Structure 1
Amino acid sequence: MTPDALIFDFDGLIMDTESTLLESWRWLWRQHGLELPEEGFFAAHGGPVPERYTELAAAVGASFDRDASHARRNAFRARLHETLEPAPGIRDWLDQASALGLRLAVASSSAQEWVHGNLARAGLLDRFEVTACGDEVAGHKPDPAVYQLALRRLGIGADRGLAFEDTPHGVAAAQAAGLRCVAVPNAFVQVAHFAQADLVLTSAADLTLQTVIDKIS
């Protein structure tokens, strides 16, 4: 069935904010003359492992200031985002969706301020009719709540939507909401973890949107 709406994850799919997250942590460790131990930085589901500050504090010692370090790291990451472009193929997909008359939405576990701010800076916010964000629901992915909210705001049933995700947790959330899901794994998640996705691509630039829809429908 051809969808009426496409629902996109944000982090790691629309924009590669996962790489800027890792780079900001590398930068922070190097401010202390240290190298970030990157093995296991991202969990198997694709998100970062928490408590990196605890590890850094142990490495630095009593002089470590968590609040100041957090502010410095976020400021550095914000500078990276000033020139961060959408992931390859995403702008083309959005253009093709418009030409096909498809409605567009974002369903993200991140806070609305983060999602809207980054979309606006990239000139993409007005491309999406609906957003549903993590600070608007009780549960984060793989909980389907954010997808269910997006569907309610679109006013459609799950059978009329198609989701796009970059992590196994995201795929699980979309499918738990009743949506078909295309996976475009980010660089930090093994493709083998996406066996449940309806279609797996290496990049949004792999296929035209119409071809993707034809393969799913």
Structure 2
Amino acid sequence: MESRNASAVLFDVDGTLMDTNYLHTVAWWEAFRQMKHTVSMASIHRAIGMGADHLLEHLLGKDRDQDEDEAISTAHLVLYAQYSPRLPPLEGAADLLRGCAARGWKVVLASSAKSKELEAMRQSLGADDAITAVTSADDVKASKPAPDLVETALKRAAVPADRAVFIGDTVWDVYASRRAGVRCLGVLTGGISAAELLEAGAAAVYEGPADLLARIDDSLLESVGG
């Protein structure tokens, strides 16, 4: 049951809390290369933030051989897994989660990653004490930019859309949150410019988790209706 008095902060993880977007870029590039597809790293980077279900169509087109999709996605997962023991959290990420929780806001992770990838990132973050709930690509039919992940995160937080704010680093995060009726704040740590995030519909853009934490009481508090 939704509570009109509760508030929640929903977080993307890759590129928002973890410095992993370029690791994903390299892993996807090599996965495509193994299947004889030439896709530039620049194009791949700009698609990071989508779930694999959307990313493959975005980069290879609707007319691709879809029988290859599973092999490409599996190759990406295997290649990316080599980084799992040393995934780097962004500066201030864990402190930001704890800062939100300390203010009484529910903290929910809403990631397009598979649950196994998300678990590895949670271990690196080391802030489970601040996290209320999580949702991953395994929990929804369609990942970002579809609104499913954000809507599922809202349900798990048990708050309405107007009592939540989403934090993300890509235009796909902004699109997904807007489609779910949730205000979005952007961060620059995923490599997407402030102009692009604002044009997509982000309410404001910050340098990263540490910057957002430093201004938490004049940013998130207003956004979640506190």
Smaller-chain TM-score bracket: 0.7 to 0.9
Distance (whole Å) between structure 2 residues aligned to residue 96 and residue 12 of structure 1: 19
Distance 1:6 1:75, change over 3 A: same
**Amino acid in the other structure paired with 1:211:** D
Distance (whole Å) between structure 2 residues aligned to residue 130 and residue 198 of structure 1: 24
Deviation at 1:76, TM superposition (A): 5.8
Distance (whole Å) between structure 2 residues aligned to residue 135 and residue 205 of structure 1: 29
Residues 17-60 of structure 1: CA distance to partner in whole angstroms, max 9, x if unpaired? 2122234568899xxxxxx9534332367559649xx9xxxxxx
Deviation at 1:188, TM superposition (A): 3.1
Distance (whole Å) between structure 2 residues aligned to residue 39 and residue 180 of structure 1: 28
Aligned to 2:165: 162
SS at match of 1:41: helix
Distance (whole Å) between structure 1 residues aligned to residue 47 and residue 31 of structure 2: 23
Higher Rg: 1
Aligned counterpart for 1:213 among listed residues 207, 216, 220: 220
**Amino acid in the other structure paired with 1:203:** G
Distance (whole Å) between structure 2 residues aligned to residue 76 and residue 135 of structure 1: 19
Distance 1:187 1:166, change over 3 A: closer
Distance (whole Å) between structure 1 residues aligned to residue 29 and residue 127 of structure 2: 28
Distance (whole Å) between structure 2 residues aligned to residue 80 and residue 5 of structure 1: 30
Aligned counterpart for 1:153 among listed residues 151, 156, 168: 156
Distance (whole Å) between structure 2 residues aligned to residue 3 and residue 171 of structure 1: 22
Distance (whole Å) between structure 2 residues aligned to residue 44 and residue 115 of structure 1: 18
Distance (whole Å) between structure 2 residues aligned to residue 99 and residue 79 of structure 1: 34
Aligned to 2:10: 7
Deviation at 1:118, TM superposition (A): 2.0
Once structures 1 and 2 are overlaid, which stretch shifts more, 144-153 or 75-84?
75-84
Residues 66-109 of structure 1: CA distance to partner in whole angstroms, max 9, x if unpaired? x7xx76x7566434332223112212212211321211101112
Taking only aligned residues, the RMSD between alpha carbons, in angstroms, comes to 3.5
In 2, are the aligned partners of 1:183 and 1:200 still within 8 Å (CA)? yes
Deviation at 1:161, TM superposition (A): 0.9
**Amino acid in the other structure paired with 2:209:** A
Instruction: Name structure 1 gaps, 5 residues minimum.
Output: 30-35, 55-66
Aligned counterpart for 1:87 among listed residues 75, 85, 90: 90
In the TM superposition, structure 1's runs of 4+ consecutive aligned residues that sit over 6 Å from their partners are 25-29
Aligned to 2:68: none
The alignment's TM-score, normalised by the length of structure 1, stands at 0.75
Distance (whole Å) between structure 2 residues aligned to residue 160 and residue 88 of structure 1: 27
> May I ask how many residue pairs the two structures share in their alignment?
201
**Amino acid in the other structure paired with 1:210:** D
SS at match of 1:6: strand
Tell me, yes or no, if structure 1 residue 96 matches structure 2 residue 99: yes
Aligned to 1:122: 125
